[in-house]
Copies of this chain bind each other. A is one copy, B any other.
Amino acid sequence: MFKITGKASDSLARTGELTTSHGTVETPAFVGVATRATIKAVEPSALEEIGLQILISNTYHLHLRPGEETIAALGGLHRFSGWAGPLMTDSGGFQVFSLGAGKEQGVGKIASIFPDPQHLPSKRRHGNSLVRLSEVGANFRSIVDGSPQMFTPESVIQIQRKIGADVILPLDECTSPLHDAGYTKHAMERTHRWAQRALTAFRLLQDDPTFPNPDAMLFGIVQGGAYRDLRMQSARFIRDLGFPGFAIGGSLGRSKDEMLRVLDWTVPCLPPDRPRHLLGIGEIDDIFAAVERGVDTFDCAAPTRLARNGTVFVRGAPRQRINLRNARFATDDRPIEPGCDCPTCQTHSRAYLRHLCRSGEVSFYRLATLHNLRFLVRMMREIRGAISRDCFAALAAEWRQATLSS
């Protein structure tokens, strides 16, 4: 299922192959975020062309609409969406967080994303929790129709088996960076009990031929917030349950530095021969830092969200990006990134894309998103090549320099 094919001598960076029944993912790999069974603005069939290897969809959203029964009736998420490659689903745990404590406290996975609560979008600032957690599971209301819903560790496994992804995840409680050690420990211990229940449910259903994907793998999720002892305790506990792979979830602290410390504590406690996924993180600098610390896969909505806002990746530019809304691109007839082989750069100029972006044309979203995804696909290939030749540190330093030069 996972084979390590290369290792850096001076860091935990490694290359590997994660094999699923829908194909093999060469790692380290960026996982495209297809929350509601599509990457926003890009139809699944365009993704294979740009070399994207794997997608992650969202159990919470797909459960509410169109519902796992509908997806199962249509042969599972692969057939339903037209994406034939490897596919993950998350557990809904992050939505339980973001509609609960995240909404109450107005924070994301890393608290400092919103350094000043005054800068939060107003609808989040005074949010009340829409979620009630108990030992049994999470009660919440549907964002689609307000209907009462419940996720339990068992139901989330069943839902994901009906959806039919290759890698699925157990229900967890993703605590907030603002939660104290006491609450975080309490939540972590409940998440551990939920992990055991999820595993039991998964094993019970494993040989059930009615599910669309007989070869689903259940990865464990490590929690513990940004507390060293809790992270190490969680990593060891989840490791000992024997999952074939692991995800690092939950609060990653109050800054990117804290996030890196969380990885420094967590990864060495996980089995060296199993894949490690970092949930919800994947800006360019994060990817290099996480690969260096032994992470194999990442998913992150930022690259595609940035694209829709006009920010596109250009290697060597400050922070490796330009914003196409900038007036200096008004008559720039070069492609976004000269030399890029993406479909957008083959055809369109910065000037035209800027026009579409400023005009609010929906066609812009797709063109910009395809470029940013292809950029990451090429970057990950470069990372894998550098690890194979044991020069990853030099590559990371080269990229970091541009990233910090803004």
Interface membership of A124, Cβ < 8 A: no
A171-208: CB near B (< 8 Å → 1, else 0) gives: 00000000000000000000000000000000000000
Asked if residues B80 and A43 are in contact (CB atoms below 8 Å), the reply is no
Given A349-B80, A355-B65, A70–B362 Cβ distance below 8 Å? no
Interface membership of A376, Cβ < 8 A: no
Q: How many copies does the complex hold?
A: 2
Taking CB atoms, residues of chain B closer than 8 Å to A39 are 363
Interface residues of A in 335-393 (CB under 8 A from B): 343, 347-349, 351-352, 354-356, 358-359, 361-363, 365-367
The residue of chain B having its C-beta at the shortest distance from the C-beta of A358 within the complex is B65
Taking CB atoms, residues of chain B closer than 8 Å to A75 are 333
Interface membership of A289, Cβ < 8 A: no
Given A359-B36, A366-B43, A366-B366, A70–B347 Cβ distance below 8 Å? no
Q: Which of B38, B73, B361, B363 is in CB contact (< 8 Å) with A361? A: B38
Interface membership of A74, Cβ < 8 A: yes
Interface pairs A-B: 9 shortest CB-CB: A41-B362, A66-B355, A38-B363, A82-B347, A36-B359, A73-B331, A43-B363, A45-B347, A38-B361
Question: Can you list 27 A-B pairs with a CB-CB distance of less than 8 A?
Answer: A36-B355, A36-B356, A36-B361, A37-B356, A38-B361, A38-B363, A39-B363, A40-B361, A40-B362, A40-B363, A41-B362, A41-B363, A41-B366, A43-B367, A61-B359, A65-B355, A66-B351, A66-B354, A70-B351, A73-B331, A82-B347, A82-B348, A362-B362, A362-B365, A362-B366, A363-B366, A366-B366
